[in-house]
Homo-oligomer: A and B are copies of this chain.
Amino acid sequence: MKKATIKDIAKAAGVSIATVSYILNDVKTQSISDETRVKVLKAAQQLRYVTNRTAQSLKVKKTGLIGILWFKGNDDYLWSDLKYAKTIQAIERHCSELGYHVLFMQIDNLGPSSKIIMERNLDGVFLMNVDQEQFTTISNYFGFGVPVFVVDSYIEDPLFHKIVPDFARSFQAARSLLGEAPQFLVMDSYNNAELVEFIKRQSGLDEERIHVCCDNIKDMHEFLSVYAGRPGIVLNEFLAHEAAKTHNRLAVLCTSHCPEIVPQGMAKVAFDLNDYKEIVRMMDRNIQDADEVSREKFYCLSVIT
């Protein structure tokens, strides 16, 4: 029970393989008589033909494959799993809409893993949660014209597109939801140190009023105890749950993309994962036009309140 090829169709329909290819691909520059078109299509159906994308890719030098490389540093936090799970879902959904398939890979060191980009001839790549060092590693791994979009990293490198939540607007929104200036910030951690710094800056708060959460939840509660009864901002729904045990004047930025779990009555600001539709479209344009000029290299996931 072997799979049918265009050759089989050609034989069955009594035409050449070129003709079959024209018809199956609906090539516009080629005119085909209705008669043969029907003949071929019928044969294709009977033989249960499906395109062999491997062969097609080899020929057209486009695989239709988008890679998602997820750097899973040491942190194995639930919030991080969920955030990226949601992100991956959004990316896959929109890639799918445009006919792309998604290769998913967790990596812990970019060197060997990033070979996948070249080996598999990925058309485009999403990099999630990479730090500066990995960034430089990968950036000289290829100037091969593969569009690379980086999620949750804040790096000034014109080679890459950057995607982050719209922190500026979300802090603003949080403040206005609180109705007063926040006194402190508790935030989740990122592999990319620059992003952490960027977030801190955006919050407008002094360093000592900011706590970056690591594995130890005790530290957070200790930090929070200083601000008892004061209003503050928490990044990510899970930390918000913890903080809610001792604080009630909180606004939470839903960086894990699960606004539904924020405790009732707590002010929340979410981000729009549907923005990935536009982002994937942009990647697609980059793929079509190798030298498409993309002015803007920063994409901010828009705020939902």
Interfacial chain B residues near A261, Cβ < 8 Å? 78
List the B side residues contacting A265 at CB < 8 Å: none
A26 at the interface (CB under 8 A from B): no
Write out the residue numbers on chain B whose beta carbons fall within 8 Å of the beta carbon of A145. 1
A63 in contact (CB, < 8 A): yes
The reply to whether B63 and A121 form a contact with Cβ atoms under 8 Å apart is no
Q: Which of A54-81 contact B (CB under 8 A)?
A: 54-55, 57-58, 63, 68, 78, 81
Q: Closest B-chain residue to A238, C-beta based?
A: B261
Would you call B78 and A260 a contact (CB within 8 A)?
Answer: yes
Stretch at the interface among A95-103, A128-136, A271-279: A95-103
Q: Which of A84-92, A166-174, A181-189 contacts B (4 or more CB under 8 A)?
A: A84-92
Copies per complex?
2
* Residue numbers in B under 8 Å from A101 (CB-CB): 103, 105, 116, 120
Contact across chains for A106 and B82 when beta carbons are under 8 A apart: no
Q: Once the chains bind, are A50 and B82 in contact (CB under 8 Å)?
A: no
**Nearest-Cβ distance from residue A295 to partner chain B, whole angstroms:** 24
Contacts of A105 in B (CB 8 A): 92, 96, 101-102
Does A228 make an interface contact (CB < 8 A)?
Answer: no
Q: A54-B121, A96-B106 are in contact. List 10 more A-B contacts (CB 8 A).
A: A53-B119, A54-B54, A54-B57, A55-B58, A78-B82, A78-B258, A81-B86, A82-B85, A92-B105, A102-B104
Q: Which residues of B contact A285 (CB under 8 A)?
A: none
- Do A103 and B103 touch (CB < 8 A)? yes
Q: Is A3 an interface residue (CB 8 A)?
A: yes
Instruction: Check if A119 sits within 8 Å of B82, measured CB to CB.
Output: no
User: Does the CB pair A143–B1 fall under 8 Å?
Assistant: yes
Contact (Cβ within 8 A) B120 A92: no
- Nearest chain B CB to A111 CB, angstrom units: 12
Given contacts A78-B260, A85-B81, A261-B78, contact A50 B119 (CB under 8 A): yes
Q: Which 9 A-B pairs have the closest CB atoms?
A: A85-B85, A104-B104, A50-B118, A53-B119, A54-B57, A54-B58, A102-B104, A50-B119, A53-B120
Question: Closest B-chain residue to A84, C-beta based?
Answer: B85
User: CA–CA, A44 to B262, complex, Å?
Assistant: 54
Minimum distance in angstroms from A94 CB to a CB of chain B: 11
**A51 CB–B CB distance under 8 Å:** yes
Q: List 14 A-B contacts (CB under 8 A).
A: A1-B145, A3-B118, A3-B144, A51-B119, A52-B58, A53-B119, A53-B121, A54-B57, A58-B58, A78-B82, A78-B258, A81-B82, A85-B85, A89-B106
Structural contact, B63 and A88, CB atoms closer than 8 A: no
**Closest chain B residue to A56 by CB distance?**
B119
How far is A194 from B112 in the complex, measured between Cα atoms in Å? 43
- Cβ of A93 within 8 Å of any chain B Cβ, yes or no, is yes
